[in-house]
Amino acid sequence: MQDPSRRRRSLAKACTWRVFSVPVTLGLVWIATGDLGLSASIGLVDSGIKLFAFYYHDRIWHKILWGKYEESSDVGSRLLARMQRNLDSVCLDPGDPGIPEQAQIPS
């Protein structure tokens, strides 16, 4: 069973996005046509269609695992795994003068 809060979150994201994007559509249509009534009509229709389109787009992306962190109920394990990945990505040369002498690995 899916968590209903995830659906509410998707709907909230879709609605807040439309708050930002409707003025853009209205402005562009008004600039292009010079007709404020036409731009309001197009903006409202556009907003209604794209509200549902974004909601379903977000729901699809919720099901895609790509880019999500591995599932673990242990926060410590997730943090340790992330720290290990970060350390593995750093290459330190023991002879690098930028590394303090006490931190250098003995040869």
Per-position b or e across 67-76, b if 16+ CB within 10 A of its CB: eeeeeeeeee
Amino acid at 79: L
Tokens of 96: 């690098």
Which pairs from 65-73 meet CB under 8 Å and 24+ separation?
A: none
State mean pLDDT over 7-36. Answer: 91
- pLDDT tens digits, one per residue of 45-63: 998 999 999 999 988 988 8
Provide the residue ranges of all domains of the chain, joining segments of one domain with +.
4-65
The pTM of this model reads 0.51
Tokens of 37: 């009534």
Structural contact between residues 14 and 51, judged by C-beta atoms closer than 8 angstroms:
yes
Tokens of 54: 């974004």
The better pLDDT of the pair 5, 71 is held by 5
State mean pLDDT over 66-70. Answer: 70
